[in-house]
Structure 1
């Protein structure tokens, strides 16, 4: 039985369960102390709130406690909007709440005099409705309605902040694009400015947003709202989730930016791309703080967000949405909200535009320093070329001209379900390695690949990896990028893309390769602040597949494509790297 069949049967079973309960959904209960659960630090209540089309969304409200009672003094609100269930029961029977997530520090905000609210997006968790898409305008306006509902409560100061990382960071950006009148500050992390250029970077889908949909049983583990004592409303809500649009099919079904989705019947990439709502996001009404980590693909987009929103940004070491050890991300968020929601003169607005962790792993585990700058990472740094020479060398000047072929290897492994960072791909394509470094070589910003290659067919995917190889031969990927050969035409971005190549992804701009004829594929690679240590070597690997592609079995070409890469000479392939300390080799 296919995964789709299992999903369909589960949906029908849950729908039947809800119908068999003969559930008559009661009117939404007004917030009351009786509906609340007391806590030493806050009082929580969970209710259904209808949005503009009548869909009821599950909302959890956490208010500070004083002398055993909820504080009635009007306080600012911080809101998080999630598809991952704001409250649920785990396999051990424990209630897990978004308010306790170490990423957001929401419980600490309640203790510090904020009302915190969390809600399930429609079609997920305990909320009713079905998802038309993901981070679409329906969801954005749902967030607008919840923010304005909260802002009008007597215990609200009328000022609201949004927070979130990953999907929640995306929902914060999309909701902000509707400009709710009460919204004042947005903390967004590990999300994107341009959904097409992120999910289908270079025209190629990767791991983000292409995983299978969760079975409906996952949402049935949500904690019912307070008034739903027997879970009848939860069952009815989850039955409606059977109508959700399948996520992977949505993204796979639109190979070009201007494609109309057969599922949403519109040019969906444009609807969900925050850049299409840039004027609203740039409103002086909104203050922004952005965060991402270097070992996380969305950082490429987050720096572009900062460039377009003229905002502050923090970049730490580590992986996707992991609180960095280098600084207190929850404390930074609190300082941000204290200033813009409470009006506290804590000097936040006088801080540096950008703060990032510059990594020096060759000097020991966790080695590195924090950098503070008035400019974004890499801006104003002239890139230096590293040339691919001969069949296997990386050099500072073009070597002897050569044409080096490789056959695409699709056996790149797909072990880790969420491989936020790829493992070394040495041996899976072409590998070019430098001599050992005579001294440290530091970089900050985006490398840009310029690969001159011929292909034996009209199209295939190309991946480039920049690696650090230590004296023992252990390799670590520092940066990577990708481009479908037919997407190579360069254009002008509809937003500030710094100095990076832009590929429109429009059908009219598709440029199939002429078999056997060389062309240049120019594409940006993910940014990094990183030092290659003396004695290490710099490696560039080129492949035709990546382990984070979940659809390799479907897109595999037989026989596999053959790339012939031009190295050395006047048209040498190269990687331009923003070195702040240029390399010298022994």
Structure 2
């Protein structure tokens, strides 16, 4: 592992070879005849598109590629630089954006979300773009969040013209992401948007009076509702009532990795540390030979600060679409919080967690011995005497912001175990795993775990978290390389309620970490039974609330394994 040099951390502008842009838009029919709204942005000089053929970068969105805000301002995905798209146009790429079927200005309706229909639509549009007179025949795709998913899913269909993808904050295993541990994630269960949102899309060029836009949006009424789809499939092998298929398997990218490998599509995965999909991005990189990985210190899809993000993207596509000879291309580049007292980027040929060793921290009674807040000595390097602590699940939690991508401290909502101040800095890189011995007075309950860093003044921040329902505790062999992490299949036959009072083992992998915890700071593990980011708390609330007991010490010693790096 090496500290990234100036070239990787300095922010530099993209090449200004083509200062202007010429845009056109049209409806493009895909294989079943559905017309999708496609926008093409060609590099230009003096208002005229360049005549030479250029490679194409494609972004496929459900969030409207072009729309008008209430103040009349037109927003265009391709003209922003959050995904370096404007810089790519300047650097000599044609950029194309399209609305997925059932959204924006496109016709049709959504059968599912990032399903095989969308993947095949992506295939058709990639090949259509490759055959246009402005194109060299080589296409790259880029996106983050849902757009990262459309990018990854399109790659699974292996379009012959798709040569490289840059995938941000997406998933390898959608079941393990959306319903991790049997518990739905908050930002995948939001309400669907009203028709007015899509009606604000800018009509394509030939639709001067907007009549085609209105006809397209009318078809969106048949869209499958997102929250109902996810909530309606509690098990990995559930058959969706909306699609009539075992939908988690249909949208699980891991089922199609061989197609990406055989096609030789270059892959680059990016996600930031304070963002739940980062675990999936690391696993994606671990499962595709030659894949690269990037993580910054920020939140969901925020360009990594202090890093030449647009330059990195441009150089990556230059290599795979223009044949440029690459410089040093480390497998992984990521921010380490607290490195050298502040934080910085490092480069490595190992992904975060590879090469780290697990160091156990055991739950103990501590000096105070209270159930709600166990302080100095409550988290120690050695197992103590046998004992147990219990708490009643608290469902009365504060409402989070609409998109709470990261958890906040929960130490007053369950059990907390806090270490003594660290005698030396601790470098943690990889996936913490909580190994808990628990029992409950109900057949099922949900368990949430949070790892906090607490400074000398008592200020705490959550650095990792995880979740698992008691009934989903059964483990099995993952259908992909899982980097040694526990894998919970979640099939209907794997789900087992517990007998009240039965002690069971829970192995909960948490979101990945890359940080140096300074000397004098404390580590804290919190165990709770509900999370304020759950949108369905009112529906799942048990009355009376479950009482969960955590067993520590002795043969059933509960512990937290931290991935320690050199």
Q: Where on the TM-score scale, by shorter chain, does this alignment land: which range?
A: over 0.9
> How far is the alpha carbon of 1:361 from its aligned partner?
8.1
| Mapped pair 1:273 → 2:252 | yes
Q: Which residue of 2 aligns with 1:122?
A: 101
User: Cα distance, 1:362 vs. partner?
Assistant: 9.9
| TM-score, normalised with respect to structure 2 | 0.93
Superposed displacement of residue 448, structure 1: 0.7
Q: Which residue pairs with 1:398 in the alignment?
A: 383
**Counterparts of 1:233 and 1:154, CA distance in 2:** 26
Distance in 2 separating the partners of 1:221 and 1:198: 31
Q: Say if 2:469 is the partner of 1:484.
A: yes
Q: Which residue of 1 aligns with 2:362?
A: 387
Residue 358 of structure 1 aligns to a residue whose secondary structure is strand
Unaligned runs of 5+ in 2: 1-17
Matched, 1:442 2:396: no
Aligned residues: 538
Give the CA RMSD over aligned residues: 1.3
Tell me what 1:176 maps to.
Answer: 155
Q: Which residue of 2 aligns with 1:421?
A: 406
- In structure 1, which of residues 53, 58, 73 is the aligned counterpart of residue 37 of structure 2? 58
Give the alignment of 1:58-207 within 5 angstroms.
58-207=37-186
**Paired residues of 1:398 and 1:570 also in contact (CA < 8 A):** no
One of 267, 287, 301 as aligned partner of 1:288: 267
The verdict on how the C-alpha distance between 1:159 and 1:362 changes in structure 2, with shifts beyond 3 A counting, is closer
User: In 2, are the aligned partners of 1:56 and 1:128 still within 8 Å (CA)?
Assistant: yes
Q: Residue 290 of structure 1: CA displacement?
A: 1.1
Q: CA deviation at 1:309?
A: 1.0
Which residue, out of 332, 335, 349, partners 2:312? Answer: 332
> 3-state SS of the aligned residue for 1:570?
helix
Q: Is the 2:158–2:263 Cα contact (8 Å) retained in structure 1?
A: no
C-alpha separation in 1, matches of 2:205 and 2:156: 31
**Is contact 2:107–2:220 with CA below 8 Å preserved after alignment?**
yes
Partner secondary structure for residue 188 of structure 2: coil
Alpha-carbon offset, residue 329 of structure 1: 1.7
Out of 326, 329, 346, the position equivalent to 1:371 is 346
Q: Take 2:80 and 2:420, find their aligned partners in 1: how far apart are those partners?
A: 45
Of 522, 531, 535, the match for 1:546: 531
> How many Å apart are 1:397 and its aligned residue?
0.5
In structure 2, distance between residues paired with 1:479 and 1:40: 43
Deviation at 1:102, TM superposition (A): 2.7
Offset, 1:579: 1.6
CA deviation digits over 1:265-313, x for unaligned, max 9? 1100011111111111223520111111001000010000000012011
Which runs of 5 or more residues in structure 1 are unaligned?
1-38, 582-586
Q: Give, in angstroms, the shift of residue 330 of structure 1.
A: 1.7
Q: Which residue of 2 aligns with 1:408?
A: 393
Post-superposition Cα deviations, 1:303-351, rounded to whole Å, max 9, x if no partner, equal: 000000120111111100001113122211110000100011132xx41
1 CA distance for matches of 2:149 and 2:261? 16
Separation (CA, whole Å) in 2 of partners of 1:69 and 1:278: 41
Name the counterpart of 1:316. 296
> Which residue of 354, 368, 376 corresponds with 2:332?
354
Distance, in Å, in 1 between the alignment partners of 2:94 and 2:519 is: 51
| CA shift for structure 1 position 456 | 0.9
Q: In the alignment, which residue of structure 2 is the partner of 1:28?
A: none
User: Which residue number in structure 2 is paired with residue 230 of structure 1?
Assistant: 209
How far 1:540 moved relative to its partner?
Answer: 0.5
Q: How far does residue 580 in structure 1 lie from its aligned partner after superposition?
A: 2.5
Q: Distance in 1 between matches of 2:326 and 2:507?
A: 44
- Of 342, 350, 368 in structure 1, the residue corresponding to residue 322 of structure 2 is 342
